[in-house]
Amino acid sequence: MHRHYCAWLLYGLLMLLSTAIQAAEIQVAVDRNPVGLNESFQITFTASEDPDGNPDFAPLQENFEILSQQRSSNSSWVNGKSSRSEQWIVRAMAKQAGELFIPPIAFGADSSKPLKLVVNENTAAPQGNDDIFLEVAATPEQPYVQSQVLYTLKLFRKVQITQASLSEPEIKDALVEKLGEDSTYATQIKGVDYWVTERKYAIFPQQSGVFTIAPLILNAEYMSNQRQPRFNGFFNRPDTETRRVASKAITLNVQAVPASFKGPNWLSAESVTLSETWSDAGLQTKVGEPLTRTLTLSAKGATVGQLPELLDKTAIDGIKTYPDQPVLKEDKESDGLTALREEKIAFIPSKPGEYTLPALDIAWFNTKTQKMETAHLPSVKLKALASAEDVHASAPPAAATVPQEPATSQVPTSPITVTSSSDTRFWQAVSATLALCWLLTIVVWYRRPSAKVSTGKRVEQVPETAMEKTLKRACWENNPQAAKQALLQWGKAEFGAESLGAIAAYCAEALREEILALNRLLYSGQNRDWQGQNLWQAFSAKPTAVSSDGKNGDGLEPLFKI
């Protein structure tokens, strides 16, 4: 009975643990932030798995009025894996201005996270009770050069627009980027209902001085409410009116770079993040093998053109650097532009030991606090271990066994024998005669037609194999990738080696250097600069003059492993 009770208790604990592990994660987002008082906005709850139950939106009603609710599901099948998501879309309107929180919403035992929302007082007023009008705003109006200015356009309308065209913002010596997608919502101004379409731009002035953002022009064709629509048939169109609306011009006073800035590259942003990752968390590698560092710089409110290079080009004795092409990316969100720069650098040590990479500092100007700041990464110590070939080459040779002399007390004393000069001349004559006979024997044996001397060299011309023809053609055409494949085929068949570095260890010095040079070139990615004549000349001369134990190489592991 006791055992049965324990089994049920264990089963219950496992079910509770399984429920905790399988809890659905529910994401919450709004279509824009901030919003205006009396403006409708959209809240989207997204679950990647089925939540525990239906949502309870009652907590929302404390600070928000719920206008409508909608549920949708999406299923997909990618690379043999299925995925499914559920969405609940709530259109709401804030009851008061200020910093409000969308509270956690319970989905049975699951729950969403809270989200802060800024609600501003409505400042727009209808211009003479117009059916259509434009409102524009720029923040800040006194930016620093190359700093981000958020330019917001709002189109207010209380009539149905059938066709419209809108000009783009124009400003001298500035970069202009459209941010995200347009958002449409409803608002009420002095008891009048309007539909609002909102569009945002990021503007980056490239010079200091006073600049003007020209007015935007809207040409709109809309349904007329002044007349009764005439539908005299299926093909008749209702009456419409055309209106041209212009926004106000905005003046920017762009400030120059502060005199307090001392850095080499001016970078202004709302926030900056500098991080690094390594291919080996222990920060160690072997001689000849790469250790890859990934540096990532992210700046909100900046363009990729403002981000500086991250690689420190200071040479370090005993280690080589091979930078990859940087990855540049810009994310255009409704609250501004975020620029990202990612650099991958491979460090390859040529000898064992410890190496110190200097600290990395990026100076930048914080546009929110109006102060200089520094993104910092501390110095890093790398450790290079000796390769297998280095360990074998540095090992001391085994000591020869020397027989010990017997103890003096155990050997009877004997007189020393002195050889006369006549005896010495006799034995020298005998040795010379034997040496002459041995030499004559070798000459006779060598001149026999069927005799061969094993010298490790070819004694007759051997036809080229298919691999050799492939390598020869690759060298003549200066094709490093084809040469690599031919060498790998030859090395695997000849020595059982499967990388260029391992093959080089079996080869004579000239061929070994050419193979290692090809290996380094392939790793650096600069394949167009390779000339293959030297490799073919070294290969055809003496490819395997080094002993097949492979221990006479330079001790470097391959740079470009296959």
DSSP string, 360-385: EEEEEEETTTTEEEEEEE--EEEEEE
Which CB contacts under 8 angstroms, 24+ apart, belong to 449-456?
456/545
User: 179 and 109, same structural domain?
Assistant: no
* pLDDT (0 to 100) of residue 551: 42
CB 241 within 8 A of CB 197: no
How is residue 81 written in tokens? 């894996």
Query: Does the residue 446 lie in any domain?
Result: no
Which residue positions in the chain have pLDDT lower than 50?
A: 1, 4-5, 8, 11, 17-21, 128, 226-233, 398-422, 424, 448-461, 545-562
User: 280 and 376, same structural domain?
Assistant: yes
Task: Please give the full DSSP string across 14-78, using - where no structure is assigned.
Answer: HHHHHHHHTPPPEEEEES-SSEETTBEEEEEEEESS--SS-EE-GGGGGTEEEEEEEEEEEEEEE
* pLDDT (0 to 100) of residue 418: 38
**Tens of pLDDT, residues 432-462:** 566 565 566 555 555 544 433 333 334 344 5
User: 87 and 169, same structural domain?
Assistant: no
Nearest-angstrom CA–CA distance, 484 and 470:
10
Last residue of a domain, one of 386, 416, 439: 386
How is residue 486 written in tokens? 């031919």
Compute how many other C-beta atoms are within 10 angstroms of the C-beta atom of residue 544: 15
Boundaries of domain holding 110: 24-120
Domain count along the chain: 4
Nearest-angstrom CA–CA distance, 188 and 40:
9
The helix/strand/coil state of 157 is strand
User: 34 and 110, same structural domain?
Assistant: yes
Which residue matches tokens 């099948």? 77
User: 182 and 99, same structural domain?
Assistant: no
Strand partners, 344: 294
User: 29 and 57, same structural domain?
Assistant: yes
Nearest-angstrom CA–CA distance, 476 and 51:
65
* pLDDT (0 to 100) of residue 554: 40
User: 193 and 156, same structural domain?
Assistant: yes
Query: Does the residue 309 lie in any domain?
Result: yes
* Phi-psi group of 246: left, alpha or beta (phi > 0 → left; psi -120 to 50 → alpha; rest → beta): beta
Nearest-angstrom CA–CA distance, 479 and 530:
8
CA nearest to 392, candidates 290, 287, 319: 287
CB 356 within 8 A of CB 332: no
Query: Does the residue 428 lie in any domain?
Result: no
User: 69 and 155, same structural domain?
Assistant: no
CB 502 within 8 A of CB 550: yes
CA distances to 151, 216, 287, 329 from 336, rounded to whole Å, are 10, 20, 46, 14
* pLDDT (0 to 100) of residue 195: 93
User: 245 and 151, same structural domain?
Assistant: yes
**Which one-letter DSSP state was computed for residue 316?**
B
User: 272 and 197, same structural domain?
Assistant: no
CB 345 within 8 A of CB 323: yes
Query: Does the residue 137 lie in any domain?
Result: yes
Say which CATH number the domain at 310 has.
2.60.40
* pLDDT (0 to 100) of residue 463: 62
Query: Does the residue 440 lie in any domain?
Result: no
Which residue matches tokens 């000591």? 399
* pLDDT (0 to 100) of residue 150: 96
CB 313 within 8 A of CB 261: no
User: 221 and 321, same structural domain?
Assistant: no
**Tens of pLDDT, residues 489-525:** 888 888 888 888 888 888 888 898 888 888 878 776 6
How is residue 191 written in tokens? 């008891």
Nearest-angstrom CA–CA distance, 29 and 244:
36
Query: What is the β-pairing status of strands 149-157 and 132-139?
Result: antiparallel
CA distances to 200, 335, 498, 516, 541 from 508, rounded to whole Å, are 67, 63, 18, 12, 10
Query: Does the residue 69 lie in any domain?
Result: yes
Task: Please give the full DSSP string across 330-353, using - where no structure is assigned.
Answer: EEEETTEEEEEEEEEEEEEESSSE
Count the helix, strand and coil residues of the chain and give each as a percent rounded to the nearest 5: 20, 40, 40
CA distances to 97, 123, 138, 149 from 36, rounded to whole Å, are 8, 9, 16, 20
Last residue of a domain, one of 120, 145, 169: 120
User: 146 and 167, same structural domain?
Assistant: yes
CA nearest to 92, candidates 59, 125, 122, 46: 59
Strand partners, 185: 196
Which residue matches tokens 């802060």? 116
559: Cα within 13 Å, side-chain hemisphere: 23
Query: Does the residue 403 lie in any domain?
Result: no
CB 126 within 8 A of CB 156: yes
Last residue of a domain, one of 386, 419, 446: 386
Query: Does the residue 249 lie in any domain?
Result: yes
